[in-house]
Structure 1
Amino acid sequence: MDYNTKSAIIGGTFFSSIVNIGVEDVITTIVLAIVGAIVSFFVSLLLKKSITFLGAKCRRWK
């Protein structure tokens, strides 16, 4: 395929998808991304604390 055909296929797919996506879906996606990032951050903090706690506890038993 040449460059014009590839760009026409990609552009047509992109613009036909944009028309079908509603504002509510975009807002829902943004909110879920924010919630996912916050949950991921707190889970990583919790895992870091638990690993340091368990590491200190294991060192005491030696």
Structure 2
Amino acid sequence: MDYNTKSAIVGGTFFSSIVNIGVEDLITTIILAVVGAIVSFFVSLLLKKFITFIGAKCRRWK
């Protein structure tokens, strides 16, 4: 498949999808992405503290 055919397929799929996406769906997607990023950030902080705590506890037993 040449470049023009690939870009036509991708462009057609993209623009036909844009028409069918409502504003409510877009807002819902944005909100879910923000919530997911915040949760991911806090989980990574908690895991970092947990691993540090476990590492310090294991060093005490040696």
Task: Give 1:2 deviation, angstroms.
Answer: 4.0
Deviates more, 1:4-13 or 1:47-56: 4-13
- Percent pairwise identity: 90
- The TM-score with structure 1 as length reference comes to 0.86
Distance 2:4 2:48 in 1: 51
Give the CA RMSD over aligned residues. Answer: 1.3
Instruction: Structure 1 unaligned segments of length 5 or more: list them.
Output: none
- The alignment covers a number of residue pairs equal to 62
> Structure 1's 50 and 2: CA in aligned 2 closer, same or farther, altered over 3 A?
closer
- The TM-score with structure 2 as length reference comes to 0.86
